[in-house]
Amino acid sequence: MKTFQTVKGMRDFSPEEMEKRQLVLDTIRGVFEKWGYLPLDTPALESFELLAAKGGGGEEVKKEIYYFKDQGGRELGMRFDLTVPTARFIAQNPNLVKPFKRYQFGKVWRYDRPQQDRWREFQQTDVDIFGSSSPKSDAEIVSVVCDVLKNLGFKEFTIRINNRKLVESFIVSLGITDFVDVFRSIDKMDKIGKDGVASELKKKKVSEKNIKSILKFIGGKIVPELEGKEELKNVMEEVASLGFLKNVKVDLSLIRGLEYYTGCVFEVSLGGKVSVAGGGRFDNMVEKFGGKSTPAVGISLGFERIVNEMERRKMFNVSKKKVFVAGVNDDVRKNVISIADSLRKSGVLIEIDVMDRNFRKQMECASKKKIPFVVIVGPKELKDKKVVVKNMESGNEKKVLIKNLVNYFV
């Protein structure tokens, strides 16, 4: 008999995995909502023209995404991020009340070479503010992400922050016109180190003196009086007011690729260099997609990395109250059902037999499903209006009055 596989680079999530993933999603969502962000949802498919517009990549993009023509001949692609669809939404809806503070959760698809922890389908969790150019909005985005990480249980994390205007104006002040080429080298700092950056810049014919100045600048703590300094200062002041100064530090070497960022950029790490989120200000994107000029700032949380890291650190404690209500024979079925019903109404997660199994098999099932408590319903105890509660871990059993059962678990 033919068996079928999952599509290459994609995976199923079993209930055990999904409970953890949902816990993370629920926590992130809860924090986003408390800060006044509302959910947005957009389709999995977008016109290829839209997807190709982002990087100005055009045909090149086809290699990196799931691209196809539908039966009507439309060129479509599965979305590779949530920012592009949102920017399209904003462009199509020019009258949204500003600031438009939205979060979006959803799968995205990339035709990457599958490798360790890199999948062709993965979950994204984005938060953005559209319509505000104030440093207060940069600071709020940074702070809401700090609050998310705190609520997920991370004790130590750092958001590095920089303002690309600052680096740009510094490089230009040195008399270098092609600042983008210099950006490209600085961006490799984490990978190739200071010396690597220096030798790259040398190859790019940057003078020894300028290389020295650049390295001093990006490694420095003192921000010179240049365009973008005031903005960065205002962001940091607001971050301090919001109570997250200890988690946020200025890093003048942070570039975050050559993509669409126009001001502040952010990179979030959990100690060490593993990035779990990144973002920045992208004031030109909505306009690029045909909308009104709309400043924007946001962060995309690396959901998959966060889940992996929480797993690795054993931070998951999915502690929902689960109870199996088992009947010792078929005569007590109605009692099993009514007890299950009253526990369910109090918010306990209840499972009862749906297999016509005898008592022993029911106990086995509860054990295999790792359900922590079994309520045993038998005729003898029922006469005293009681049931037996068995703690499946310790094996302890205790008689409990049915009317007290809800309090026992809630």
Of 91 and 198, nearer to a copy of itself (C-beta) is: 91
CA dihedral 43, 47, 50, 51 (to 10 degrees): 80
Of 92 and 173, nearer to a copy of itself (C-beta) is: 92
Rounded distance, CA 79 to CA 107, Å?
A: 8
Q: With beta carbons less than 8 A apart as the criterion, state whether 120 and 111 touch.
A: yes
Phi-psi region of 280 (alpha: psi -120 to 50; beta: other; left: phi over 0): left
Phi-psi region of 36 (alpha: psi -120 to 50; beta: other; left: phi over 0): left
Rounded distance, CA 68 to CA 364, Å?
A: 49
Q: Can you give the length of the chain in residues?
A: 410
Of 111 and 183, nearer to a copy of itself (C-beta) is: 111
Min dist. Cβ of residue 311 to a copy of itself (A): 16
Of 274 and 318, nearer to a copy of itself (C-beta) is: 318
| Residue 75 identity (one-letter amino acid) | E
Of 40 and 377, nearer to a copy of itself (C-beta) is: 40
Reduce the DSSP state of residue 176 to 3 states and report it.
Answer: coil
Q: Tokens for 282, please give them.
A: 């992208």
Of 240 and 274, nearer to a copy of itself (C-beta) is: 240
* C-alpha neighbours within 13 Å on the C-beta side of residue 389: 18
CA dihedral 402, 403, 408, 410 (to 10 degrees): 120
Q: What's the farthest any 2 CA atoms get from each other in the chain?
A: 93
Of 55 and 188, nearer to a copy of itself (C-beta) is: 55
Of 186 and 296, nearer to a copy of itself (C-beta) is: 296
Phi, psi of 38 (to 5 degrees): -115, 155
* C-alpha neighbours within 13 Å on the C-beta side of residue 207: 7
Min dist. Cβ of residue 354 to a copy of itself (A): 4
Of 320 and 403, nearer to a copy of itself (C-beta) is: 320
Of 121 and 309, nearer to a copy of itself (C-beta) is: 121
Rounded distance, CA 362 to CA 377, Å?
A: 12
Phi, psi of 120 (to 5 degrees): -85, -15
- Check residue 332 and report its DSSP letter: G
Strands 397-401 and 386-391: antiparallel
Q: Tokens for 180, please give them.
A: 């983008």
Min dist. Cβ of residue 149 to a copy of itself (A): 15
Min dist. Cβ of residue 173 to a copy of itself (A): 28
Number of Cβ atoms within 10 Å of the Cβ of 387: 26
Min dist. Cβ of residue 80 to a copy of itself (A): 13
Strands 349-352 and 322-327: parallel
